Amino acid sequence: KRIAQELHDGILSRLFGARLNLDSLNRATNVDAREKSVNYLNELKNIEQDIREISHDLNREKIVLINNFLAILTNLFEEQSANFDADIEMEFDDSIKWDEVSNTLKINIYRIFQEALQNINKYAKAKHIKVALTREDSNIILDVVDDGVGFDVDRKSKGIGVQNMVSRANECNGTIEIKSKKGNGTAISIIFPTFQESSKEDTLEPTPVIA
């Protein structure tokens, strides 16, 4: 909105004024007219520079939006590190283009990480946690690994946290694998099969907000 207002009230009106003035000078032949034309040409150069600066502002705002998802995740992990004993290691693949990933997938990735950390905090007694988002071909791979007490993955009754992660993975056509053994920690890996382009219908939940 701010940029649109600047374009309308500032640059467009200045361009219109410069065009009218140059048009009137086309009908003049004296020296004074030529000097004025130089001033108007300089004004057009200034307007060109302003347009470049606004373009750069737009690019910067786009970068902020693209990186905002990682900022939200980083905030989640930093809060985890500050409030619990386990240290946390983060790995984000720079080749993932988050602006091409649907909001639905991003929200579910966030919630899965959140659920996994809650489970670790409640049950695992872990000292070290590694979280990662990597890319393999067109797949996004989510990993959470801890060195906690582990659990029996073959037991029939699965906890609510595990069920929630499975449900969220399925919602995005992901394949989830949980490896764990008592005394040997837990490794959760989810493969999301493809990048999903953002759409206006990606509004299942509000996007998490950095506190």
Which helix (DSSP H) or strand (DSSP E) does residue 136 occupy? Answer: strand 128-136
- The neighbour count for residue 200, using CB atoms within 10 Å, is 6
- Give mean pLDDT, residues 47-73: 71
Query: What's the confidence (pLDDT) of residue 12?
Result: 64
User: Domain tally for the chain?
Assistant: 2
State the residue range of the domain holding 22: 2-61
Residues 96 and 178 in one domain: yes
In a domain, 183, yes or no: yes
Residues 113 and 40 in one domain: no
In a domain, 109, yes or no: yes
Does the pTM of the predicted model rise above 0.85? no
The amino acid present at 96, given as its one-letter code, is: I
In a domain, 39, yes or no: yes
Residues 53 and 151 in one domain: no
Burial class (CB in 10 A: 0-12, 13-18, 19+), 80: buried
Residues 107 and 164 in one domain: yes
The listed range with the strongest mean pLDDT (20-34, 143-157, 191-205) is 143-157
Residue 77: which residues within 8 A CB-CB, separation 6 or more? 88, 90, 113, 117, 131
Q: Is the pLDDT of residue 200 over 50?
A: no
Residues 97 and 15 in one domain: no
Residues 44 and 132 in one domain: no
In a domain, 200, yes or no: no
pLDDT digits (tens, 9 = 90+) for 6-32: 555 566 666 766 766 666 666 666 666
In a domain, 28, yes or no: yes
Query: What's the confidence (pLDDT) of residue 132?
Result: 98
Q: CB–CB of 127/147 below 8 Å?
A: yes
Q: CB–CB of 144/116 below 8 Å?
A: yes
Which residue has better confidence, 159 or 41?
A: 159
Query: What's the confidence (pLDDT) of residue 59?
Result: 65
pLDDT digits (tens, 9 = 90+) for 156-189: 567 888 999 999 999 999 999 999 988 999 999 9
Residues 53 and 98 in one domain: no
